[in-house]
Structure 1
Amino acid sequence: MNFLAKTINSTIGSLTGSSIPYDLGERVVNGVCSDSPEPNSVWNVYEATSRKEPRVRVTVFEFDLKNPRASKYVLFARNAFMKLKSLSLLPGILNIVDFIENESFLYIISERVKPLGSVLKMGSSDYMSQYELLLFGIYQVTEALKYLNKEGSSIHGSLSKNSIFVNEAGEWKLGGFELVVNIQDLDTEILSRAFDLPTYLSTIHPPELNEQRLNYISSASPAQILKLDAYLLGVFIYGIFNPEVRSLDPAKLNKPSKLPRSLASHVKKLLHISPSIRYSVEAFLNAGMQSCFNLPLIGVSKHISELRLKSTVEKLEIFNSLDELEQLPDGFFEYKILPELITTFQSLSTNQDSQQSALLLLILKRVDQLDKEAFQHQIKPLVLRAFELPDRAIRITLLSSLPTIIDHFAPYEIQDKIFPNLVQGFNDTNSSIREATLKSVLSIADKISARQLNNDVLKYMAKLQNDSTPEIRTNTIICLSKIATYMTPSSRAAVLATAYSKALKDPFVPSRVSSLLAFENSIEYFTPEVCCSKVLSAIAPALLDKSSKVRTEAQRVFDLYFSKINEAANHLPLDSEETVNLESENSENILSRLNPLSLSSMKLKNTQSLLSGLGSNTHSGSTVSLTMKQENFSSESLNADRSLRNLSNANVEDSWNEVGNDWDSTSDYQSKSLLPHLEASQKPQESEQLKATRQIIKGIPQAPKRSLKLQPKSKLKLDLLDDDVDGWENEW
């Protein structure tokens, strides 16, 4: 044991101010060894980090033993050093991480803390207005002082703002142990030099101590000595609620102030001039628990400190009571509650009785109170693991919280770890999961890859447009219009037009209204040509919708698109005069070439003259035919007409039946029966009108040689707006 002690002492003795295993940062308190003209502590206090674990943040209290200006304070520094070693485990006392001593320096390494005075200044009037938070801090100081007095059998002796520190959890911790002595073994040397402390003269002390000084301490009973701390506690509380009073006057302490009504009467008893009537710290704490300290925040804090002794059900009851709290101290959730929540969540193997999902909800509800580093190391691994759990309650909790946490994840984490698990919700049989998954797309649309959005997400959304739940169909269109800006431009217009057009045929009125609003919001993605060919034809039927709301929206959106088309048309160039004249001449030429075929130049004659040669006619009653009204035919034409009369008279009804079965026999002017016969009977000399007629006949397009047979029932299929009832076809 002696060898071990010598080894430890030699190791500590070799350390210097620059060789301790902590990197010192900003100085937050100026001590007597600093250059400050008004030091408010024996110690120089620094923010620091551990060299072994850079994420571990601490506060270093440093005292220079060899500094000439610190010579008269060495006794106080060593007393604080030794008392904290033995008393720091008491509740509410500054949590000490390490003690280091060498020939030149004393170091006390504590948890990361800030002086109370700086915290109150940072909070300004907002912090002061939240008197419940102040009561919570006063309760913590009172409890720590009670443990020091009773369980530690010690008196603090120098309680003030300068001896109170606030840790990262927002808890007020008791420090400043320079005058701490045991009431059973009073160190009169330290108490006799109390006036040398930097802040002693700026603090109001009990009247009996001011009058009798050390004589009172040596003659008073232990209970009376402890009431010295009670008086200092009353002064401290008065100063907290009256920060504008820089120098407190003992005569004003009993006058009305800004103290809360529930607290004022108890503080008055703490400040009583008679030690026999004055409250002790313990009596004040007990009385306060029935009045001013009876707060939900204080109750939750007490339960959390005992959390490890509770069952899972009891823990959940305590955690759920957090919802009753309007406000928590800065850092209280992150450093005090969150670690317990995560530990409890990870200890559960299943989501029995929805315990895991309830814990996860409590964690994610307050992520806005966490800094970036805390989220990265504590929340992110938990969320990624939770996405892998096949539980619907947990999935709903994650999806509903996704908008508030998604920005903390890197794109590769979303694409590789979150997205593959998230899209499984599109196929879930529970409609709530499908709808929540659909809404979550809005949060990740700009963070997933183009392939995931344009292939995977749009495929699932096309399927959801046929969902049996009308609300999901409606939300699909709303979601699609909001993520349109992230879609591939080359296919965006086609996908949107097809999806919106399909939604306009939905029997659910809100879905049709949403489609029209989506058309309105997406007008920038449609070119004027697409507006003409697809959009207007899709919106037009909605103008006669059964719902008046749909009709009103359809008219408004229709006019909006029509205005866009008109605006685009106004920018098109006008035809030149030469082009207009040329098109007019072409039109006149076409009309003049059609004149010989005018019905006015035709008259009815015996059908035998037209149909002779088409076959024998068994019905002699058919005597009507169509012939040209030309009076001065040549002899060749007359010969051709006589030849036609010699043809047998064909049955008219049988001939139209043949027309129905063979479009070639009627549409081909160069038929095998009529024209060859005419050509054979013609002579080289033809009339001018016959020549013109033949020329026009040659210009008429030939009918197809393959016969087109009319079927009893048409099999033609109409393609309306390229609408695919089973999906959006290949519009990806």
Structure 2
Amino acid sequence: MSLNMKTLTQALAKTAAVIEKTVQTTVQEVTGPKPLQDYELLDQIGSAGPGLAWKLYSAKAARESTRAHQYPIVCVWILDKKALSEARARAGLSKAAEDAFLDVIRADAGRLVRLRHPGVVHVVQALDENKNAMAMVTEPLFASVANALGDVENLAKVPKELKGMEMSLLEVKHGLLQIAESLDFLHNNAHLVHCAISPENVLITSSGAWKLGGFGFALTTDQASSDLAGSQFHYADYDVEDSLLPLQPMLNYTAPELVRSKSPSVGCSCDIFSFGCLAYRLIAHKPLIDCHNNVKMYMNTLTYLSSEAFSSIPAELVPDLQRMLSTNESLRPTALDFTGSPFFRNDTRLRALRFLDHMLGRDNMQKSEFLKALSDMWKDFDSRVLRYKVLPPLCAELRNLVMQPVILPMVLTIAESQDKNEFELSTIPALIPVLSTAAGETLLLLVKHAELIINKSSQENLVSHVLPLLVRAYADTDPRIQEEALRKSSSLAKHLDIQLVKEAILPRVHGLALKTTVAAVCYLCLQFHSSDRGHWFCSF
């Protein structure tokens, strides 16, 4: 019998593919979804999504081949399907409800991958799942707005940053403007209706930006205008405990036209109502509607909504917020209209934050004028706004050599309020290029603040970046820079290996002492040699 080589090759290829798929499946069942193989989990930072079902973890690449250079630290989202299934069974819910909920999660993850906009959470690695878990990777996050408001469901241990956390009105204003811009993009460019704007679906990034997630219930504008839209939403008249497997958007933040009719009308105005409820919750520090999934209680709240409900809302926002929350969807403003409210327009500090948002696109003259004004204004900002709203754009601007002398003092001053971990994550990466190239007045400024940098930097950064900075300072011809470098040498030496000090610092200090003609420089060289670790000099 003759052997058909083509048929044999095809059969072998199919067999190899089956074996490879079997091996991959087996590995996945043992090790978990791909993000859990590629990234090393650090700490749980929050929870998000429908029912806060997603656990959010800070993480770093587990291997060099998967290292995301854009984000040294990422956020890994994990949904424990096994735990969810066990909880569902204990609650007496159906397997069909569990499957439907997981489909909502998959739809959300799929939308996130396809949507590319600065106001939408950026996906680094798409959703992967096995029978026990789902996982995906996004840009680094701080937490969900729900977590920031004190809802810490699905958090094993509350991070210290969330304990007793309070957001200032300025931070809330800035976040609301960012969400309004994201909604404007969804409605007018992506042609989507989100349908589930709520605290659990708004994420705060590690740099303080507010972004949209939770697209599991989203509809295209074509779907929203079709008869099929009505089949998406079913709210029972009486209490329904669906916090475990929410198959509808959160009722407290849902527009009445999706609730009160058997044929709901879905449009962009639905998102505006939900957005108004979110704004009310953030500013009044209480929900506008708290109906416990009871539709009759929900409708009663809206029917008897009085002006008294807005007594804790700033007067300049009340008219706009009342329009957003109107039961008549035709009266609601667009997301872009909302950004023109006097509540935002009349706040000079908010205008400063908005300039910082778009500073990279401004010319140096505009930046210089703005930063002069900011230097007088920034003391009015609270510490959270400084660290999460002001510092990140300033750090990004450090790449601009022309603006460095103006921006660097601000960055270093704000950095004083950071702990070591925050400094390592957000500030030192922006400072490293400056440390390696600084000269003249910039070098002098950095050396003056070297103790701050030394005390907040890792051993790796001390050796790779701070030590070379001081070595260059010793060799500079400006006695002011030499003096400052010598004053900081003892602080750095305490953090370094003795052998490294002998090889990298002592010879240069010794050489500087022999060649300088400046008495103060000579004195500081001798003082370093006779310091508490002066035995270096003897062995040298």
User: TM-score range, shorter-chain basis?
Assistant: 0.5 to 0.7
* Map of 2:125 onto structure 1: 98
* Map of 1:303 onto structure 2: 358
* Map of 2:293 onto structure 1: none
1:72–1:287: structure 2 CA closer, same or farther, 3 Å change rule?
A: same
Unmatched 5+ residue regions in structure 2?
A: 1-12, 86-94, 151-160, 237-241, 291-300, 494-500
Partner of residue 230 from structure 1, selected from 264, 267, 272: 272
* Map of 1:119 onto structure 2: 148
- What amino acid is the match of 1:76? V
Per-residue CA distance 1:368-419 (angstroms, 9 max, x = gap): 4473533796256435423xx6x42233222332232233375766996344
1:253–1:452: structure 2 CA closer, same or farther, 3 Å change rule?
A: farther
Deviates more, 1:235-244 or 1:67-76: 67-76
Output the aligned Cα RMSD: 4.6
Q: Does 1:160 align with 2:198?
A: yes
1:283–1:147: structure 2 CA closer, same or farther, 3 Å change rule?
A: same
* Map of 1:242 onto structure 2: 284
Q: Distance in 2 between matches of 1:482 and 1:260?
A: 59
1:441–1:81: structure 2 CA closer, same or farther, 3 Å change rule?
A: closer
Deviation of 1:441 (Å): 3.0
Q: Distance in 2 between matches of 1:152 and 1:415?
A: 46
1:168–1:13: structure 2 CA closer, same or farther, 3 Å change rule?
A: farther
1:439–1:365: structure 2 CA closer, same or farther, 3 Å change rule?
A: same
Determine if contact 2:193/2:268 at 8 Å carries over to the other structure. Answer: yes
* Map of 1:72 onto structure 2: 100
Secondary structure in 1 matching 2:189: coil
Deviates more, 1:267-276 or 1:441-450: 441-450
Determine if contact 2:197/2:274 at 8 Å carries over to the other structure. Answer: yes
* Map of 2:265 onto structure 1: 217
Q: Distance in 1 between matches of 2:509 and 2:22?
A: 65
* Map of 1:57 onto structure 2: 74
1:48–1:380: structure 2 CA closer, same or farther, 3 Å change rule?
A: closer
Q: Superposed, which structure 2 residues align to 1:381-400 within 5 Å?
A: 381-386=432-437, 391-400=439-448
Q: Distance in 2 between matches of 1:41 and 1:190?
A: 24
1:401–1:314: structure 2 CA closer, same or farther, 3 Å change rule?
A: same
* Map of 1:445 onto structure 2: 490
* Map of 1:179 onto structure 2: 217
Deviation of 1:233 (Å): 1.2
Partner of residue 279 from structure 1, selected from 322, 325, 333: 333
Q: Superposed, which structure 2 residues align to 1:392-541 within 5 Å?
A: 392-407=440-455, 408=457, 417-425=468-476, 428=477, 433-435=478-480, 437-448=482-493, 452=506, 456=510, 459=513, 463-465=517-519, 486=532, 488=534
Q: Distance in 1 between matches of 2:201 and 2:23?
A: 28
Q: Distance in 1 between matches of 2:111 and 2:512?
A: 69
Q: Distance in 1 between matches of 2:233 and 2:458?
A: 60
Determine if contact 2:233/2:248 at 8 Å carries over to the other structure. Answer: no
Q: Distance in 1 between matches of 2:372 and 2:442?
A: 17
Higher CA-based Rg: 1
Determine if contact 1:13/1:101 at 8 Å carries over to the other structure. Answer: no
Deviation of 1:164 (Å): 1.0
Partner of residue 21 from structure 1, selected from 30, 34, 37: 34
Q: Distance in 2 between matches of 1:70 and 1:293?
A: 49
- What amino acid is the match of 1:148? L
* Map of 1:35 onto structure 2: none
* Map of 1:341 onto structure 2: 397
Q: Distance in 1 between matches of 2:103 and 2:172?
A: 33
Deviation of 1:300 (Å): 2.2
Give the count of matched residue pairs.
441
Per-residue CA distance 1:545-593 (angstroms, 9 max, x = gap): xxxxxxxxxxxxxxxxxxxxxxxxxxxxxxxxxxxxxxxxxxxxxxxxx
- What amino acid is the match of 2:210? W
Deviation of 1:111 (Å): 1.8
* Map of 1:681 onto structure 2: none
Secondary structure in 2 matching 1:344: coil
Q: Superposed, which structure 2 residues align to 1:257-336 within 5 Å?
A: 257-287=311-341, 290-291=345-346, 295-304=350-359, 307=360, 309-310=361-362, 323=375, 324-325=377-378, 326-327=381-382, 328=385, 330-332=387-389, 336=393
* Map of 1:191 onto structure 2: 232
1:418–1:126: structure 2 CA closer, same or farther, 3 Å change rule?
A: same
Deviation of 1:204 (Å): 4.5
* Map of 1:695 onto structure 2: none
Q: Distance in 2 between matches of 1:56 and 1:374?
A: 8
Determine if contact 2:176/2:279 at 8 Å carries over to the other structure. Answer: yes
- Aligned-residue identity in percent: 13
Q: Superposed, which structure 2 residues align to 1:584-663 within 5 Å?
A: none
Per-residue CA distance 1:95-131 (angstroms, 9 max, x = gap): 1223235675654432232221223444566633x21
1:159–1:95: structure 2 CA closer, same or farther, 3 Å change rule?
A: same
- What amino acid is the match of 2:107? N
Deviation of 1:203 (Å): 1.0
- What amino acid is the match of 2:488? S
Q: Distance in 2 between matches of 1:194 and 1:12?
A: 43
Secondary structure in 1 matching 2:203: strand
Deviation of 1:355 (Å): 4.7
Determine if contact 2:257/2:265 at 8 Å carries over to the other structure. Answer: no
1:397–1:146: structure 2 CA closer, same or farther, 3 Å change rule?
A: same
When the two structures are superposed, what TM-score results if normalisation uses the length of structure 2?
A: 0.66
Per-residue CA distance 1:51-102 (angstroms, 9 max, x = gap): 322844223254749953612324423432443343x213411212232356
- What amino acid is the match of 1:441? L
Which one scores higher on RCO, CA 8 angstroms, separation ≥ 6?
2
Q: Distance in 1 between matches of 2:206 and 2:47?
A: 21
Deviation of 1:138 (Å): 1.2
1:287–1:242: structure 2 CA closer, same or farther, 3 Å change rule?
A: closer
Q: Distance in 2 between matches of 1:252 and 1:233?
A: 17
Determine if contact 1:49/1:57 at 8 Å carries over to the other structure. Answer: yes
Secondary structure in 1 matching 2:127: strand
Q: Distance in 2 between matches of 1:240 and 1:384?
A: 40
1:174–1:447: structure 2 CA closer, same or farther, 3 Å change rule?
A: closer
Deviation of 1:257 (Å): 3.8
Unmatched 5+ residue regions in structure 1?
A: 33-38, 219-224, 346-353, 492-732
Q: Does 1:109 align with 2:147?
A: no
* Map of 1:205 onto structure 2: 254
Deviates more, 1:100-109 or 1:450-459: 450-459
Determine if contact 2:77/2:137 at 8 Å carries over to the other structure. Answer: yes
Secondary structure in 1 matching 2:137: strand
1:254–1:453: structure 2 CA closer, same or farther, 3 Å change rule?
A: farther
Q: Distance in 1 between matches of 2:263 and 2:209?
A: 37
Q: Distance in 2 between matches of 1:31 and 1:145?
A: 19
Determine if contact 2:145/2:204 at 8 Å carries over to the other structure. Answer: yes
Per-residue CA distance 1:613-633 (angstroms, 9 max, x = gap): xxxxxxxxxxxxxxxxxxxxx
- What amino acid is the match of 1:192? F
